[in-house]
Amino acid sequence: MNVPNALTILRIFFVPLLVAVLVEGNAWVNWSITNEWLALAIFLAAAGTDLLDGYLARRWKQVTTVGTLLDPIADKLLISAALISLVQVGVLPGWMAILIVGREFAVSGLRQIAAAEGYLIKASDLGKTKMFSQVVAVSCMLVAVRHPALRVPGMVLMWIVVVFAMLSAISYFRKFWHKVDERIKLGRRRELLALERKQQRTERRQRRSKGSSNLGAAGTIWKPPEVN
């Protein structure tokens, strides 16, 4: 396992820690720092690994298929866990979290279909902008748990996240769904052609077999009956 992939897996391990710190009240606080600030530190550290693993993978030429597929999953787990935790503590509307998380699942499903058909979907520039806006918005909402004055700016940022999420989802589907759909149709067309050819070969064998039987019957020499 290379370093970029290890950082991606580390980001996944940050997810349950973030949820525990944010949702479990003040059980984790033994210092002057509150749970919200500790959750913010964990979230930013996890988001930092997202930037670092991509940079190192490109710089060290360690871009792998596993890393390309695992990186967006780690991002979605982190953002989804943060949004659901914010809904749990009552600072984020549930419908907004459902909309964003639902978009993440839809794009993940598209990635899986594309991978099964031989296409590798990489993050677009719009998708990267969406991820950056999510980090900023979630960070603001985490601080707003303790400081209600930041809830209005946080909600404005969350609306920006929703817009970017929808636009990037449309971009992914428009760019790749047509290719995937054509690949599936081509595969089915080939299967039908192979089945048709097999059926034609079977019919030709049956006709040849029937023709041979008729020829054998026609070639029998007739002999008159003997007269005593």
Q: What is the pLDDT of residues 101-129, one digit of tens each?
A: 998 888 878 777 777 767 666 666 666 67
Cβ atoms of residues 126 and 164 within 8 Å: yes
Distance CA 214, CA 218 (A): 6
What is the arithmetic mean of pLDDT over 153-172?
88
Residue 50: its pLDDT value, please?
Answer: 82
Q: Which residues contact 150 (CB under 8 A, 6 or more apart)?
A: 140, 141, 143, 144
Higher pLDDT, 189 or 166: 166
Q: How far is CA 165 from CA 101, 129, 140, 160, in A?
A: 10, 9, 18, 8
Note the pLDDT of residue 66. 73
Whether residue 222 has pLDDT greater than 60: no
Nearest one of 83, 76, 47, 64 to 3, comparing CA atoms: 64
CATH code assigned to 3-186: 1.20.120.1760
- When pLDDT is cut at 50, 70 and 90, the band that residue 71 belongs to is confident
The reported pTM is 0.70
CB atoms within 10 A of CB 94: 12
| C-alpha closest to that of 40 among 153, 163, 146 | 146
Backbone Cα Rg of the chain: 31
**78-90, pLDDT tens digit by residue?**
999 999 999 988 8
- Select from 76, 112, 108, 90 the least CA-distant residue to 36: 90
Q: Kindly report, residue by residue over 183-217, the tens digit of the pLDDT.
A: 777 777 788 888 888 888 888 888 777 766 665 55
For residue 79, with 0-12 CB atoms within 10 Å meaning exposed, 13-18 middle and 19 or more buried, which class applies? Answer: buried
pLDDT digit string (tens) for 13-70? 999 888 888 887 554 455 556 788 888 989 999 888 888 887 787 788 777 777 777 8
pLDDT at 26: 56
Could you tell me the pLDDT band of residue 137, with boundaries at 50, 70 and 90?
very high
* 126, 127, 133, 134: CA torsion to nearest 10: 160
Question: Is a pLDDT exceeding 70 seen at residue 227?
Answer: no
Q: CA nearest 166: which of 208, 119, 133, 118?
A: 133
